[in-house]
Amino acid sequence: METIETEKWIRPARYQEKLPDNVVRCHVCPHNCIVQEEKSGICQTRVNHQGELYTLAYGNPCSVHIDPIEKKPLFHFFPGMSIYSVATAGCNFRCLNCQNWQISQSAPQLLTHYDLMPAQLVQQALLHNTNSLAFTYTEPTVFYEYVYDTAKIAHENGLKTVFISNGFINEKPLLDLCPYLDAANIDLKCFDDAVYRRLDGGRLQPVLDTLKTLKGNGVWLEITNLLIPTYTDNEEMIQSMCDWLVGNGFEDTPLHFSRFFPTYKLSELSPTSETVLIRAKEIAMKSGLKYIYIGNIPGLHDENTRCPACKRMLVERSGFVVKRNLIRHGLCGFCREPVAGVWE
């Protein structure tokens, strides 16, 4: 019979601190869980076995798909590119509106999964003619070891790597990962710590720290903000968020306002109204953000990229399809203004 040390999907966890009486503290994310023997942390991916912390999420993704990169969403990073996308079970948040709760609120050993060790995962991405890999759908922070090893091998093989995350990760693991990351989209849930705790089981400040760390370490960054009626659609909150972004040098960082649809524990709420989304965009524009998008409303045409100077349309999108791209060498094809992003 296999023991926990020889089980294929189990690896010693990184960033663990041994405490007395076989108790272990995990330092991967700001929960910094203190994990008792034979118990797991909040994310359900890390267990304490005989005083040693192990990750159960290694080489066993429960979701594997090829997506357009626009779906992440990343609009200023190789538009039109297909991206090999994976997730294991588990998450360090408890979002009331989680769209993927069947996998995020489960544990790796409870779900059927693929057998894709890091080198095989990279091989699969190459075989499917994608030039990038995304860690997405659930929260990649909680399958950190798998992300780290895969991202390293991906870079050795010329693949780009993308981190789609709630941003709730400690600085040290993030700094160690940054050299192997090319782009990230961080879900900035709202700009109110009390709402963060109530809606997501998280906190605001660590996410803001993550935005700074990613940007400061050369990872291309985009931000998503989902406007949930009565939780995150307050105009003052949106204004405070935009002020913070501009005040901290994120005016070139694309901001995706996203429409909420009733789901999971918030199935009684209405979808976000178009008026609220349009108002949010106005606030962001007046605050000085240069690239603002509205997602999940077909026909609004707010998913196109415009030149920040001459305002002409440079990347035309229909859903997740890029119909036209007039950016050349990172410059507007009309007026030659630089357009922030990684284009080619």
Site for ligand SF4 in 44-73 (CB under 6 A): 46
**CA–CA gap between residue 252 and residue 240 (Å, rounded):** 17
Q: Are 103 and 87 in contact (CB under 8 A)?
A: yes
CB 41, min distance to ligand SF4, A? 2
Chain mean position to CA 89: 15
> Nearest to residue 198, comparing CAs of 166, 226, 232, 224?
232
CB 169, min distance to ligand SF4, A? 8
Is position 10 an interface residue for ligand SF4 (rule: CB under 6 A)? no
Candidates 31, 160, 189, 290: give the one binding ligand SF4 (CB under 6 A): 31
Is position 24 an interface residue for ligand SF4 (rule: CB under 6 A)? no
46 DSSP β-pair partners? 55
Nearer to ligand SF4, 15 or 78 (CB): 15
Residues 6+ apart with CB under 8 A from 260: 97, 226, 227, 228, 229, 266, 269, 271, 272
CB 257, min distance to ligand SF4, A? 28
Site for ligand SF4 in 84-123 (CB under 6 A): 92
Q: Closest residue to ligand SF4, Cβ-based?
A: 41
| Torsion from C-alpha of 166, 170, 172, 177, nearest 10 degrees | -20
Candidates 28, 95, 221, 266: give the one binding ligand SF4 (CB under 6 A): 28
**What character string, x for contact with ligand SF4 (CB under 6 A) and - otherwise, covers 127-156?**
---------------x--------------
Nearer to ligand SF4, 122 or 142 (CB): 142
185 DSSP β-pair partners? 164, 222
Candidates 9, 10, 24, 26: give the one binding ligand SF4 (CB under 6 A): 26
Instruction: Tell me how many residues contact ligand SF4 (CB under 6 A).
Output: 12
Structure tokens at 305: 């990229």
CB 133, min distance to ligand SF4, A? 21
Nearer to ligand SF4, 46 or 317 (CB): 46
Tell me the residue ranges of DSSP E strands in the chain: 11-12, 16-19, 23-26, 34-35, 46-49, 52-55, 63-68, 82-87, 132-135, 160-165, 183-187, 220-227, 255-259, 292-295, 305-306, 313-318, 321-325, 327-328, 331-332
Mark the segment that binds ligand SF4 (CB under 6 A) among 40-48, 65-73, 208-216, 296-304.
40-48
CB 31, min distance to ligand SF4, A? 4
Please spell the DSSP secondary structure of 40-86, one letter per residue. Answer: B-TTSSEEEETTEEEES-SS--SEEEEEEGGGTT-SSBSTT-EEEEE
CB 214, min distance to ligand SF4, A? 18
Is position 41 an interface residue for ligand SF4 (rule: CB under 6 A)? yes
Is position 33 an interface residue for ligand SF4 (rule: CB under 6 A)? yes
CB 48, min distance to ligand SF4, A? 9
Mark the segment that binds ligand SF4 (CB under 6 A) among 25-33, 301-309, 326-334, 336-344.
25-33
Is position 42 an interface residue for ligand SF4 (rule: CB under 6 A)? yes
Residues 6+ apart with CB under 8 A from 301: none
CB 175, min distance to ligand SF4, A? 16
For residue 293, what are the CA distances in angstroms to 73, 95, 239, 259, 299? 10, 23, 16, 11, 13
> Nearest to residue 296, comparing CAs of 222, 196, 227, 230?
227
Which residues of this protein are in contact with ligand SF4, per CB under 6 A?
26, 28-29, 31-33, 41-43, 46, 92, 142
